[in-house]
Amino acid sequence: MAQLANPARHTRPMPIAIRSSVFRIDGDLRETIEARVRRGLRRYARRVSEVRVWLDDANGPRGGMDRTCRIQVELRWAGTATVESRADTVYAALAGAIERAKTTVDRTLKRRRTRARFPREPRNLGNGQDGRA
C-alpha cells in the first residue's frame, strides 16, 4: 500500500503579525484571522516568509463601510505584495483582502516564473550595437 505524503512536512510555518490601533485583538479574533489567512494562502506557504495584517476603522464612530483590512505578504525571492479591502465588518474586509492577496501573490509568482523562463533580449539600439558594453 502506498504511503501518502505528509502535508505538514512540506509546508513551512507562516508567521502572521496582526496589528490594530482601533480594534481590541482578543484571542478569538486572533485565532480566526490566523486560521483564515493560513487557509487562504496555504498554497503559497513555502514561498511566504511573513504575513502582516492591519485592521482599521476609517470613519470611527460615524459608521458606514469603513472597516479596512490591509494584508502585506512578504515573498521569498519575489518581493512584497500589499493589498487592502474595505467592508461593513472586519470579517468581510478580511475575506476581501485575502482574495486580493491570493490573486496578487499568484500574479507576482507567475510573472517571476515567466521572466526566469524567458529572459528579455537586449534591445537593438539601431546603430549596430545590441546594448551590451
Q: Kindly state the cell numbers that stand for 40.
A: 487562504
pLDDT in tens, 111-125: 877 766 666 676 666
Residues of the chain with pLDDT under 70: 1-12, 60-65, 115-120, 122-133
Domains of the chain, first to last: 11-116 (3.30.160.100)
Q: Which single residue is written with the C-alpha cell 525571492?
A: 77
Eight-class DSSP state of 12? -
pLDDT for 104 equals: 94
What's the gap between Cα 63 and its chain centre? Answer: 28
d(CA 63, CA 69) in angstroms, rounded, equals 16
pLDDT in tens, 58-77: 776 666 668 899 999 999 88
pLDDT for 50 equals: 94
Bridge partners of 72, per DSSP, are 52, 82
